[in-house]
Amino acid sequence: MNEVMKSLQVEHRGLRQLLALLQCKLQRLEQGDSPDFNLIEDTINYIENYLERYHHPKEDIIYQYIIKHNLDSQGKFAKAVKEHSTFKQLTQPLRTTLQSILLDIIIPNEVSAHQLKTFIEAQQSHVDYEDNYIFPLIEQSLSDKQWAEISLLIPKQEADPLFGEHVHAEYNALYLRLRDMETN
């Protein structure tokens, strides 16, 4: 398996862990409890600042290459690229709601729960789509020569601030919570 594909799959595993954490927080919110909104914000912040800045652009380079070279006869890659562009529209209202809650502005649980649920479902659906359809198609479609061409197009990437070798201080609480989830 190509190194770029390996890195994408590792990033998807990390995203799945984050979505599981958010799902637990959503359940608490739907039950009328007050989840740790700082942790939810840290999770959204990581997804927005790392995955949206590095993971999706890396995928988009691969998908656009496939589209450009007429390897997307069913439009599956074009669909994935389009989904990437919609995540900002889902994230912004959720981020605004979280910031309001953290400033002690009263937001009905139904509003924050709906936004969080919509975000989780969209992310989960997208990851499932890529893992089940897109990634296998990539593996079948691209030759070593094409991978070499694609690798030249992918910019150097920052170390992952949460799942990388060193956890950044801003994500330490999130890292500890994910580690606790794995051991329980």
Asked if pLDDT for residue 106 goes beyond 70, the answer is yes
Assign residue 155 a region: left if phi > 0, alpha if psi is -120 to 50, beta otherwise?
A: beta
Query: Given pLDDT bands bounded at 50, 70 and 90, which one contains residue 183?
Result: low
Query: Given pLDDT bands bounded at 50, 70 and 90, which one contains residue 2?
Result: confident
For residue range 122-168, what is the model confidence (pLDDT) as tens digits?
999 999 999 999 999 999 889 999 999 999 999 888 888 898 888 99
Question: What is the average pLDDT value for the chain, to the nearest integer?
Answer: 92
pTM of structure: 0.92
CATH class of 3-183: mainly alpha
* The predicted structure's pLDDT at residue 61: 96
Cα gap 74→78, rounded to integer Å? 9
Asked if pLDDT for residue 62 goes beyond 70, the answer is yes
* The predicted structure's pLDDT at residue 49: 86
Cα gap 146→63, rounded to integer Å? 12
The phi, psi pair for 105, rounded to 5°, reads -85, 130
* Cβ partners under 8 Å of residue 43, min gap 6: 18, 21, 22, 174
Per-domain residue ranges of the chain: 3-183
For residue range 12-55, what is the model confidence (pLDDT) as tens digits?
999 999 999 999 999 999 998 889 999 999 999 999 988 888 89
* The predicted structure's pLDDT at residue 87: 87
* Cβ partners under 8 Å of residue 152, min gap 6: none
Asked if pLDDT for residue 72 goes beyond 70, the answer is yes
Asked if pLDDT for residue 184 goes beyond 70, the answer is no
Tokens read off for 24: 């637990």
Mean pLDDT of 89-95: 91
